[in-house]
Structure 1
Amino acid sequence: MIIIKSRTEIDFMRKAGKVVAQTHDKIKKSIRPGITTLELDRIAEECILKLGAIPAFKGYNGFPASICTSINHQVVHGIPSSISLEEGDIVSVDIGAILDGFVGDSAKTYPVGQVDDEAKRLIEVTKNSFYNGIKHAINGNRLSDISNAIQTTVENQGFSIVVDYVGHGIGRQMHEDPPIPNFGKPGRGPRLQEGMVLAIEPMVNQGTYEVDTLQDNWTVVTIDGKLSAHYEHTIAINYEGPPEILTIL
């Protein structure tokens, strides 16, 4: 069942989203060669708590950290560790925060120092696919109109879209209906309406779309060892016009 949010509830979600956005801003300024992802986790948790929220991921289904940090060929759900980031790496950082009972969720892929042109292009195409997707996140459209626009953007640039992991509805719970694939034909799925709040999150691979999960039962990786990027925001469908992105400053 898709839960339609009232304007008051979206106000609460906007506040949770601001916490996530501020934490991303802090993380972006902290990423550099030599820093560990465990240190990034500490910085993010301190920021979330200081802003009066709590980390949404910590303890969620047993996840041991406050953020997900996925390096290079890691797609999603990477666990922060004592491994240091190196010049030329890319790192996807997924951040969730709960404030006043509502969840904000956003992910971005960051370069570490100077990265090569193909890594830059992967990051940019992943971001662009999100923004092309939400052009279709309009009251009255179908959910798969978003999905198709994301897939088309990615595949037209020679990359592949991950099919094993998808976006989701969000609200008082991290994962609500509907699941939101980043692929598929347009004109399918539930009709979008005012008050839907969705976490749209393309995951894009440099090579094959196929992925595997490491023995930690969390970290998802590309099976060919090529790079992957992730971009996500929480959005609210409006009665008229484009959606509101809730996880930006």
Structure 2
Amino acid sequence: MIEILNPAELARAKQAGALVADILQTLKRRASVWTNLLDIDRWARSMIDDAGAVSCYVDYEPSFGRGPFGHYVCTAVNDAVLHGRPHDATLRDGDLLTLDLAVLLDGIAADSAISFVVGDSRPAASIAMIETTERALAAGIAAARPGARIGDISHAIGTVLSEAGYPINTEFGGHGIGSTMHQDPHMANTGRPGRGYRLRPGLLLALEPWVMEDTAELVTDPDGWTLRSATGSRTAHSEHTIAITDDGAEILTLPTPPA
């Protein structure tokens, strides 16, 4: 299913996007050395509930998972990169943490992910990897405009990732979003320009470049959800929900500006 949102729905999408971004930034500020991943999940639940929103993850049960996800935010640490299921573990100085959050507010979903290093350590390789996914995300957004095709976005993202020397996995990538979290079209993180679905104003897309330091192969934890690099190398993931407009693309998952 591919949805094209009307102006009223787009206004609600902006509110959902701002909520996701604000929650992620609050979680980032609170996450520190010795923070438990289950505390992060509880904080996310509290903020989602307080906003009158609904988690897209608690009842999420796709074919590749093992039963409902059962938590409110994905917490992926170090070699974990996607669908990191919160569990009883504490963060340590220098850990690379990815938080991935999607909520439904007034019938419209928004989805975003951020990666950052916890504590005072600043491992150069981790910082470089995070910055690369952020640059790839910016390139994908720049390529998203009316009349362009999904392949143009994939190509823009993949060019940045491959030029930085990272292998690219194509099993999981970006996706359409709207009244549900995951919709068509799928967007691999590399591709050929000029191919795929043609973008139209009102289309919402979640772009999410992610990489593993030295492999494109994923392995699944015994929890049936958490995906890790097959080599144990570190990972990074950046994601925004955008709306295709008459003039290009608008990022919806930006934090609310300070008053």
Which TM class, normalised by the smaller chain length?
A: over 0.9
The SS at the match of 1:161 is coil
| 1:129 to 2:141 alignment | no
Q: How many residues align?
A: 248
Distance 2:93 2:169 in 1: 26
Distance 2:58 2:79 in 1: 23
Distance 1:133 1:168 in 2: 13
Distance 1:86 1:161 in 2: 28
Matches within 5 A, 1:59-138: 59-61=59-61, 62-113=68-119, 114-138=121-145
| 1:247 to 2:242 alignment | no
Structure 1: which 5+ runs fail to align?
none
Distance 2:33 2:21 in 1: 23
1:53 partner amino acid: A
Matching residue of 2:203: 196
Q: Is the 8 A contact 1:90 1:115 kept in 2?
A: no
CA shift, 1:115, in A, is 2.6
- Render the CA deviation track for 1:133-171: whole Å, top value 9, x for unaligned: 111001111111110111110111111222111111001
Matching residue of 2:42: 42
The SS at the match of 2:139 is helix
The SS at the match of 1:60 is coil
Matching residue of 1:176: 183
Matching residue of 2:64: none
Matching residue of 2:242: 235
Question: Identity rate of aligned residues, in percent?
Answer: 38
The SS at the match of 2:143 is coil
Matches within 5 A, 1:138-177: 138-177=145-184
- Render the CA deviation track for 1:182-217: whole Å, top value 9, x for unaligned: 111111001111111001111111111111112211
Instruction: Give me the CA root mean square deviation.
Output: 1.0
Distance 1:160 1:14 in 2: 33
1:248 partner amino acid: L
Runs of 4 or more off by more than 3 Å in structure 1?
none
2:77 partner amino acid: I
The TM-score, its normalising length taken from structure 2, stands at 0.93
